[in-house]
Structure 1
Amino acid sequence: MPYGFSLNTLPVWTAASFMRFAKHDRPTTRTCKQDVLILVFDGVFRATVNGDAIELKAGDYYLTPNGSREAGNLPCDCPYYYYFHFKPNVYKSSNILPQRGRFDTGELLPMLEELDRLIRARGSKVAKAALIYGVLAALKKQNPASERKVSQAVERALKSDLKKQYTVKELAKLCGYSPNYFIQAFKRETGKTPHAYVAEMRISAAKEMMLSGMPLEEVASECGFPEYTNFYRAFKSLVGVSPRLWKQKH
């Protein structure tokens, strides 16, 4: 099962409000006791969560799970955002809101403005709950949790530039995840580490090139192995025979 903000139970909110940072404002350094959801409408919000830097621009949302260490050690660019505090509700589930994603600011801003008005006017709990659940439903609709989100992102990256030596941090950024969360999500999804999965993709591409008659040294270079010896070791480790012997048999 994927990991995220569960929508199988009704989330219980404890606080919600708009927030605008002045020029030199930063998030408070703290350990989050509840799940925190922020939706950015303007500017750039930056913070470090469990040691990983996050940057959110207009139309980005982010869920910080309870127990996370959030540090305001990065400069922000006057962000304007809405935040929610929820009682702990982040875990493995079959129906989740992903930890990070995008949203339609035009659709959600009026809903949050009305919610803010009701909170200040001490409006009915039912009306406030309806708006909050409406916001979560909209986020879910705009960010369906794909069972192959991380592996598909890696596949797209490699297909666009097979030579590039991607770091885990770079691959995680493509998915909008922190490196630690990305590695965990990748293993849950594929049963493999990102490194092993990337190696398999490179070798699979190498086989196709070898069948086309391309010289082995050129194949190695095109598949992201600057040194032929590294290609040789990776190929033999995965296939069981050397590249040259495999090519002779095919």
Structure 2
Amino acid sequence: MSWRQTKSAPFFVGYLNKVPKPLIAFVSVFIVCFVGGLGLAALALSSTQNDPGNGGFQWGNRFEQTGLLELRPYPVFRVPAGGGTPAKTYMLSGQGKRGVFDQAKANIKTAVALRGVPIKRGDLTMIQVGKVEATEGADAAFTPADPVPLGRWKLTGEICDGKCYSGAMRPGRGLAHKACANLCLTGGIPPVFVSSGAVQGRNFFLMADADGNLLGDEINPLLALYIEVEGDVEKLDDLMVFKADLATARVLK
């Protein structure tokens, strides 16, 4: 019987402290492919996520202006036109997940100096109120314009809480944010309808019910869903208000 010597496959023996060259090449290629695959997987997953937007707190641009507080039906701050700047209406929030109903009711239709931090996303701006003080003077005395009716519209989009969607959290929308939005709205943060189609160039609307009153628990089943709903739209200075008839609401997906 004769024996034939054959070339054995590379084999790693730990105590020899030597790795065969073919095995080094294999492991190197595997690591490169594995890391590259993880990168491609991360890219594919991130591409399916909602755009978080560019909103956020404008800490370097503190807000301090004189105007009037109104309930429409959520607290808003009306600022008169001046110096070539048109009149503006700002939605308001308190610290954390709270509204500013107490401050608004205590100073309703009274000239006040309001200080706070803007939260801005595109043409949607909300002011996180820091301090409200009564004030006097000619600059504070003005009569805000009445809302301008824009007719009845059928809009598609999503109901969000105005503070988080403005940029307090990102993306501030979708099912992953539903629980947070529910807490914010329960605390008095104004609801915002984010429409997929614009009305006079605006896609963000302060929401109210069909009669222009506060929305309650009836919006909970519709939060964070893509819906279609009809209602009347009116323009309050530069702010759009959507009086949604939730009886017409329909979930699209």
Please report the TM-score for the alignment, with normalisation by the length of structure 2: 0.23
Please report the TM-score for the alignment, with normalisation by the length of structure 1: 0.23
Structure showing greater radius of gyration is 2
Name the structure with the higher strand share. Answer: 2
Name the structure with the higher helix share. Answer: 1
